[in-house]
Structure 1
Amino acid sequence: MENYEQEDILSVIEIDLKKVAWSSLIMTFSFSIIGMIIYISLYGSFQITFSFVDLLLLFFGYVLLIILHECFHLVGFWFFGKVPWSSMNYGVNLKMGIAYATTSIPLPNRAMKKALLLPFWTTGVLPVIIGYSIQSPMLVLLGAWLIAGAAGDFAMYKDLRKYPPNILIKDDPVKPKLYVMK
């Protein structure tokens, strides 16, 4: 970690990617089934076609929502943490199999927690609500998948709840870990 000495760090929050991946997979299946049960109870049935175009739309919709998920982390850093755009970065770590958004500036815990959960609401819950309102089971499924995709964010949020709201949290620029600063 650059510009910080080991003695500046109170604690390290690191998620187990294998554990989070399994949780996310289980949540994906669970939320998909629950979402479709709710859809059927609201509308009597559902139909998802599997034409090549529909599969392409599903794939591109999923990729777009993953990109938006990371963008909303950046928006959260900016809006809740008042972080300048120039100190933020995003991308995909193919080696780890994750997309990421990060900032080089520590945020107060309350701002970091909000930035962690913003994508859950905007790319998960909101598409589900829109999917139900326009009777689109595909959008309900995409939202359910992105809700499950926030498993790592929830794991970090859960650990951050132990700390006071004003303590500074530094995001690791490479790994899915947070540093709680003294």
Structure 2
Amino acid sequence: MSNDTQTTISIFSADDIASHLSELGALLRACVDDGASIGFVLPFSVDDSRAFFSNNVLPAVRLGKRVLLVAYKNDRIAGSGQLDFDTPPNQPHRAEVRKLLVHPDFRRQGIAKVIMAELERVAGQLGRSLITLDTRTGDKAEPLYASLGYNTAGIIPGYCRDPFEDRLDSTTVMYKSL
């Protein structure tokens, strides 16, 4: 757990996820509604948001293959980030950042940086020395990751569907050695 001027980061257990499905679902829904390219397209319901956490994140956390960090600010869930370390036997040194979310009400307050720093700390504790991630090319997150020392490995054109429009967006694959 770390603290940064009223932002508290907690590692959520499977039980924590189960008891906070509504708040986690609301966070995901708000980010998708705001245009975040995080794997979902509109229409996207609150039930879809909760189902993602209960059917995808919770089992992975329960099996010890993923860590979910949750950022609180002003007694609200302000953001979250996942570290997936369910890697093949030839990649025991690697982990992947997944679904870095900051609620639109809490953006531009340094929460994403705090979550990323904690994800890196956890990765180090797990013996992981390489972190990978991908982000929609040209998104606001891309310069954030670069400012945190992530390098661009490449861009994959037509990688994912835009959440609002019927078009395909590119993704930038990034990495950082710890």
TM-score when normalising by structure 2: 0.26
Which is strand-richer, 1 or 2? 2
Query: Higher Cα Rg: structure 1 or 2?
Result: 1
